[in-house]
Chains A and B, each alone.
Chain A
Amino acid sequence: MKIRIKFRKFGEMKFIGHLDMMRYFQKAIRRAGIDICYSGGFSPHMIMSFASPLGVGLTSDGEYLDIEVGEVSSSADAVRRLNEVMAEGVEVVSFRKIPEGKASNAMALTAAADYEIRFRNGCAPKDGWQKDFDRFCASDSIQVIKKSKKGERETDIRPLIYRIERQEDTIFMQVAAGSVRNLKPELVMEAFAAFAGITFPESAFLIHRLEIYGDAGTKDKRQLISLEALGEVI
């Protein structure tokens, strides 16, 4: 049976990188006594995959991993058992059954993500940046220089930003995520800095991921559904 686990990552756990979170969950699942399935061979490993890596320093309310299990009692029981063995700073939100097959993998489905961005204390630019930001949000194209192995090239990231807005000093954005098209919120903020002619100090932002979505729509029209909603409670 395939299972999708949704969890929150907050507080000090933001310093734990993606690979270490994978190791963390492998051990946590053993501690919780979840009947997870292993691959064959001489060094069997747990069947487990994460939707989208979260960078060091970022917090989140919507992280996902998919696992394959043998027997389970109920979603509620599994959530309780997992939360009993979590470190402070990780909380399991849901444990749901998802359809079989590769197409339903969280990693393959990931299409977009929501982020909330605030300035760290003392890192906000001079007042007045808000107006600049609203103008930035209204622009039709946002050119940035993307560095890759082949060199630098200019691209327009505006089509990858699905929603962007500001409420007082908090910024919200919904951007493309996943293996096909992916946009990091940091890059959007860099583009804003260039637009407004300002520079931010090192680690100036508190970035919080709110949710990850799959796309149930067509090529022409997006229809985003949270990865959690694609599973059913057992």
Chain B
Amino acid sequence: MRKLALDDTVLLKIEKPARYIGNEINAVQKDKSRIEVRFCMCFPDLYEIGMSHLGIQILYDMFNRREDVWCERVYSPWVDLDRILREKQIPLFALESQDPVKDFDFLGITLQYEMCYTNVLQILDLSGIPLFADRRGEEDPIVIGGGPCACNPEPLADFFDLFYIGEGETSYYALIDAYKEHKNAGGSRQEFLIKAAQIPGIYVPSLYEVIYNPDGTIASMNPKALYVPSRVKRQAVSDLTHTFYPEKPLVPFIKVTQDRVVLEIQRGCIRGCRFCQAGMLYRPTRERDLEMLKESAEKMLKATGHEEISLSSLSSSDYSKLPELTEFLLENFGSNGVNISLPSLRIDAFSLDVMSKVQDIRKSSLTFAPEAGSQRLRDVINKGLTEEVILRGAGSAFEGGWNKVKLYFMLGLPTETEEDQKSIAWLAEKIARRYYEIPKEQRTGKCQITVSTSFFVPKPFTPFQWAGMCTREEFLERAHTVNMEIKEQLNRRSIRYNWHEADVTVLEGVFARGDRRLSGLLLKAYEKGCLFDSWTENFHNERWMEAFAETKTDLSFYTARVRTQDEIFPWDFIDSGVTKKFLYREWEKALEGTVTPNCRRQCQGCGAGRYQSGVCLLEAHQI
């Protein structure tokens, strides 16, 4: 039996020791003497969050299918264990073998949100790996980043050896093969980095030089070595049916956020909302085959024993075989006490019918994401949801017995006026009125409308990448306007309002569109004790503000500034398929308030057609 890295006295002292012992159902054990490449996959947040992530399950399965590779996992130690590891100088370890992370060939870190960046430094620090890539020696693991935030990896450029740009299924095997060859040939770390840079989708930040203009914007970014491509092509799987998908997902012992089987039905989204990074980044929309999904659902439920299966995609209603799939799941598993959950559904007759079969109407709530309060602003962001559709959906839901509605909006969108902000309250009021139109004897008490607003962060590779972002004060003022307007409404007692933190949003904005000069800021914040910044109780804005001041970093340069058409962005070296030209055209249309039809209705020539897959093929065929 393996020996745990932590002894009993430590494990019995900390919160939830099960976070650190591994041994979960379907965890992979291998004989390390027969392994050539050891890969440690990290989600830099708490175990319960990281274990809920589908991407790692896919990659874990993909790597472990190879006999020469052993992929293990590590998550951020919570603050209680963090303290003990430092005190007792215990190196951070991987869950499966309990071996130190430092002994691995690769440390892969998924970057799902900007506020995990200090946790990335914690992982490196506790592992005993030099934080800066240029200080690492031949014995240190190759540190590679991936995930959505790798589409602008520049704020982390100094801390990573490599980044994987795009979907992991396509190039990782080639990277592993190149590494094996390099290891057997006894090459140097630097030689390997140059080789890796030639694999499609692999970005080696140290091999590029960035030159700045006097105003702080980028003048140019160029490769420093021969054979290093000037642009890195984002990777996308062309056939999502015939590719890797786990049959035996990991089953944790403790309750994690996503304690269920996750069935990814498609990638990408045809809608083209202008604020949405995922919708632009994961183009083209690609569906998985219905038969593959049925088979996969069956295998995963059997191998995990989970009591719930959830469909995953950016917009489930757009999956062309959704009725067939839900019917299959209901028929085959519904009677075995298996719950079916369908997030990201448009509210219409079909979805209400399905939902009434799978959930308790009295307890569940309906979710709408109009994102903006007025039709004008919804046109600006290209959110094709009209007031009429919302009221009709809510109306039929109320008549079907629901009385709870959740509404999601963003504040601080480009061109937003006070009228747009107040429209949020007015829309909530209209929904409440729709409820009270139902005869009293048919209603089930009061209705509960929960309005939530988040603050808008402009993201790379979206039409809003040129937009200015509100300041903290502007954000809070807008939330205040909404709050006051809700209090003016007739049905205010049926409406509840929540808004997000503004401080964290501003930081997200800095890192989302940041450049490689931010590494000093990040390090300073980490040294001041910033960690688990996405956890409200651990977030210390004053430490961050000190770090800005001490590193002389101008926050507004990254957030408030409206960019000009010809500005070179830190992420422009990535060729995402979707062209900058298309994005700028969308930005101009946004400012005019002109909507763009979805991909199925009319191709806009965004550039993702070069992947020759999914909805792009369908359109070509139809035309």
- Seen from chain A, the residues whose Cβ lies within 8 Å of a Cβ on chain B are 11-13, 15-17, 20, 23-24, 26-31, 38, 42-46, 56-57, 85, 87-89, 120, 202-203
Is B566 an interface position by the 8 A CB rule? no
Task: Encode contact with A along B1-29: 1 for CB under 8 Å, 0 otherwise.
Answer: 10010001101110001100101110000
A75 to B251, CA, bound (A): 26
Q: A11-B1, A57-B12 are in contact. Are A28 and B18 (CB under 8 A)?
A: no
Q: A15-B18, A20-B254, A203-B8 are in contact. Are A89 and B23 (CB under 8 A)?
A: yes
Residue from B4, B25, B359 whose CB has the most chain A CB atoms within 10 Å: B25
A29 to B25, CA, bound (A): 13
- B contacts with A: majority SS: loop
How far does the Cβ of B383 sit from chain A's closest Cβ, in whole Å? 33
Residue of B nearest to A29 (CB): B305
Q: Which residues of A lie under 8 Å from residue B304 when comparing CB positions? A: 27, 31
Q: A16-B18, A87-B24, A89-B23 are in contact. Are A24 and B337 (CB under 8 A)?
A: no
Which of B9, B25, B254 contacts A27, CB < 8 Å? B25
Q: Which residues of B lie under 8 Å from residue A27 when comparing CB positions? A: 25, 251, 304-307
Q: Which residues of B lie under 8 Å from residue A56 when comparing CB positions? A: 12, 17
Is B517 an interface position by the 8 A CB rule? no
Residue from B251, B359, B363 whose CB has the most chain A CB atoms within 10 Å: B251
Residue of B nearest to A28 (CB): B305
How many residues belonging to B are interface residues under a CB distance threshold of 8 Å? 30
Residue contacts A-B, CB under 8 angstroms, 14 given: A12-B21, A15-B18, A16-B18, A17-B18, A20-B254, A27-B305, A27-B306, A29-B305, A30-B336, A31-B304, A42-B360, A42-B363, A46-B337, A203-B9
**Are the C-beta atoms of B25 and A20 separated by less than 8 Å?**
no
Which of B24, B305, B339, B359 contacts A26, CB < 8 Å? B305
Which 8 pairs across A and B sit closest by C-beta, in order of nearness?
A: A27-B305, A30-B305, A31-B305, A42-B360, A15-B17, A203-B12, A16-B253, A38-B337
A144 to B304, CA, bound (A): 46
Is B242 an interface position by the 8 A CB rule? no
**Are the C-beta atoms of B17 and A30 separated by less than 8 Å?**
no
**Are the C-beta atoms of A24 and B302 separated by less than 8 Å?**
no
How far does the Cβ of B77 sit from chain A's closest Cβ, in whole Å? 15
A149 to B482, CA, bound (A): 46
A45 to B13, CA, bound (A): 33
**Are the C-beta atoms of B18 and A26 separated by less than 8 Å?**
no
Residue of B nearest to A120 (CB): B8
A89 to B4, CA, bound (A): 14
Which of B1, B25, B307 contacts A87, CB < 8 Å? B25
A66 to B301, CA, bound (A): 24
How far does the Cβ of A50 sit from chain B's closest Cβ, in whole Å? 16
Residue of A nearest to B302 (CB): A31
Q: Which residues of A lie under 8 Å from residue B1 when comparing CB positions? A: 11, 88
A20 to B25, CA, bound (A): 13
A57 to B12, CA, bound (A): 7
Which of A12, A17, A203 contacts B23, CB < 8 Å? A12
- Seen from chain B, the residues whose Cβ lies within 8 Å of a Cβ on chain A are 1, 4, 8-9, 11-13, 17-18, 21, 23-25, 251, 253-255, 301-307, 336-337, 339, 359-360, 363
How far does the Cβ of B17 sit from chain A's closest Cβ, in whole Å? 4
A61 to B255, CA, bound (A): 25
Q: Which residues of B lie under 8 Å from residue A88 when comparing CB positions? A: 1, 23
**Are the C-beta atoms of B4 and A12 separated by less than 8 Å?**
yes
Residue of B nearest to A86 (CB): B25
A42 to B356, CA, bound (A): 11
Q: Which residues of A lie under 8 Å from residue B8 when comparing CB positions? A: 57, 120, 203
A43 to B24, CA, bound (A): 26
How far does the Cβ of A19 sit from chain B's closest Cβ, in whole Å? 8
**Are the C-beta atoms of A15 and B11 separated by less than 8 Å?**
yes
Which of A12, A28, A30, A43 contacts B360, CB < 8 Å? A43
**Are the C-beta atoms of B23 and A202 separated by less than 8 Å?**
no
Q: Which residues of A lie under 8 Å from residue B336 when comparing CB positions? A: 30
Q: A20-B255, A46-B337 are in contact. Are A30 and B307 (CB under 8 A)?
A: yes
How far does the Cβ of B339 sit from chain A's closest Cβ, in whole Å? 8
Q: Which residues of B lie under 8 Å from residue A43 when comparing CB positions? A: 339, 360
Residue of A nearest to B361 (CB): A42
How far does the Cβ of A85 sit from chain B's closest Cβ, in whole Å? 7
Q: Which residues of A lie under 8 Å from residue B306 when comparing CB positions? A: 27, 30
Q: Which residues of B lie under 8 Å from residue A28 when comparing CB positions? A: 25, 305
Q: A15-B11, A88-B1, A89-B23 are in contact. Are A20 and B337 (CB under 8 A)?
A: no
Q: Which residues of B lie under 8 Å from residue A87 when comparing CB positions? A: 23-25, 253
**Are the C-beta atoms of B255 and A23 separated by less than 8 Å?**
yes
How far does the Cβ of A26 sit from chain B's closest Cβ, in whole Å? 7
**Are the C-beta atoms of B18 and A20 separated by less than 8 Å?**
yes
How far does the Cβ of A131 sit from chain B's closest Cβ, in whole Å? 28
A44 to B337, CA, bound (A): 6
Q: Which residues of B lie under 8 Å from residue A24 when comparing CB positions? A: 253
How far does the Cβ of A214 sit from chain B's closest Cβ, in whole Å? 29
A202 to B17, CA, bound (A): 16
Q: A87-B24, A89-B23, A120-B8 are in contact. Are A202 and B305 (CB under 8 A)?
A: no
A128 to B18, CA, bound (A): 37
A85 to B13, CA, bound (A): 30
Residue of A nearest to B11 (CB): A15
Residue of A nearest to B251 (CB): A27
Q: Which residues of A lie under 8 Å from residue B301 when comparing CB positions? A: 30
A85 to B25, CA, bound (A): 8
A23 to B301, CA, bound (A): 15
Q: A20-B255, A85-B305, A202-B12 are in contact. List 8 more A-B contacts (CB 8 A).
A: A20-B18, A20-B254, A24-B253, A27-B251, A27-B305, A44-B337, A57-B12, A202-B9
A89 to B18, CA, bound (A): 13
A168 to B25, CA, bound (A): 39
Residue of A nearest to B336 (CB): A30
How far does the Cβ of A56 sit from chain B's closest Cβ, in whole Å? 7
**Are the C-beta atoms of A31 and B303 separated by less than 8 Å?**
yes
A46 to B307, CA, bound (A): 10
A82 to B154, CA, bound (A): 50
How far does the Cβ of A119 sit from chain B's closest Cβ, in whole Å? 12
Q: Which residues of B lie under 8 Å from residue A31 when comparing CB positions? A: 25, 302-305
A88 to B24, CA, bound (A): 9
A20 to B16, CA, bound (A): 11
Q: Which residues of A lie under 8 Å from residue B305 when comparing CB positions? A: 26-31, 85
A57 to B251, CA, bound (A): 21
How far does the Cβ of A149 sit from chain B's closest Cβ, in whole Å? 25
Residue of A nearest to B364 (CB): A42
Q: Which residues of B lie under 8 Å from residue A12 when comparing CB positions? A: 4, 21, 23
A31 to B248, CA, bound (A): 11
Q: Which residues of A lie under 8 Å from residue B337 when comparing CB positions? A: 38, 44-46
A29 to B4, CA, bound (A): 28
A38 to B336, CA, bound (A): 8
How far does the Cβ of A67 sit from chain B's closest Cβ, in whole Å? 13
**Are the C-beta atoms of A20 and B307 separated by less than 8 Å?**
no
A88 to B13, CA, bound (A): 23
Q: Which residues of B lie under 8 Å from residue A29 when comparing CB positions? A: 305
A6 to B573, CA, bound (A): 61
Which of A13, A26, A202 contacts B13, CB < 8 Å? A202
Residue of A nearest to B24 (CB): A87
